[in-house]
Amino acid sequence: MMQSCKNYYYLKHTPAIKNEDGNNTHTLKFAHETIPFTTYADYHYNTVNKKYIFFTTKEVSRILNSKFKKPFNEQFLFMYTNMSIYNNLLGFYYEGISLEDVKKSYDRMPDVDLGNGALYTYRSEKFNVVDIYRKSEGGVIRFVNLNNPDEEDSQNKKFHREVNTLFFNLNSNLWDKSAVDFQ
């Protein structure tokens, strides 16, 4: 299991391809699957600049076990923006887990039902967390989005706008249903 690792810096991404809009399309690989994932050009991968990384290993471990307590089988994503207000993004694969298993583990309905996925927002100590789950062939994948807790962002509007445009504008093809303007 990857959970015994010393940090959550996944540094094995394949190089991104710049698309016609100037954004980067990454090939995310997990288990026996791949999915295209588009980010703005300011998302960094395969590097660590602690100035823009808002979490510690201990904090991510707590977040990963606070709502959905199953261990992940593999980490496939770590990215961050070079702007202090936005996003630290991690991705995990859970083999043999269904979306229904995920929904049962939370004590409430998803903030957004995506058809083939679910979105939850919550506080975890100092972080505002946006957890986004998506069905895969052999389980589920989980995208964990973390805000900068030291940035002034009333009601997390800038952070939520970033997550919304990243996942439901640039990557709308990943979802059965839209999550426009989740709160």
**Structural domain contains residue 156:** yes
- Average pLDDT for residues 155-180, to the nearest whole number? 87
Residue range 84-93: mean pLDDT, rounded: 86
Of the segments 81-85, 95-99, 107-111, 148-152, which one has the largest average pLDDT value? 95-99
Q: Does 22 reside within a domain?
A: yes
User: According to the model, what pLDDT value does residue 82 have?
Assistant: 81
Q: How confident is the model at residue 48 (pLDDT cuts 50, 70, 90)?
A: confident
C-alpha span between 157 and 128 (Å, rounded): 11
First CA to last CA distance, the chain: 33
Reported as a single tens digit per residue, the pLDDT across 158-168 is 888 899 999 99
Would 180 be classed as within a structural domain?
no
Angle made by CA atoms 57, 150, 157, in degrees to the nearest 5 = 105
Quick check: is 133 in a domain?
yes
Domains held by the chain: number: 1
**Across residues 120-137, what is the average pLDDT?**
93
Q: Specify the pLDDT at position 106.
A: 92
Distance CA 1, CA 71 (A): 8
Q: What span, in angstroms and rounded, lies between the C-alpha atoms of 160 and 121?
A: 9
Give me the pLDDT at residue 4, please. Answer: 47
Does residue 145 lie in a domain region?
A: yes
Mean predicted confidence (pLDDT) in 120-136: 93
- Range(s) of the domain holding residue 165: 2-174
Per residue in 92-124, pLDDT (tens digit) is 999 999 999 999 999 899 999 999 999 999 988
Residue 11 CB neighbour total at 10 angstroms: 10
Predicted confidence band at 171 (pLDDT cuts at 50, 70, 90)?
A: very high
Provide the pLDDT for residue 19: 92
Q: Is residue 101 included in any domain, yes or no?
A: yes
Pairing of strands 24-30, 33-39: antiparallel
Would you say residue 34 has pLDDT above 70? yes
pLDDT band per the 50, 70, 90 thresholds, residue 157: confident
Task: Answer whether residue 182 is part of any domain.
Answer: no
Q: What is the pLDDT of residue 15?
A: 85
Within-domain flag for 48:
yes
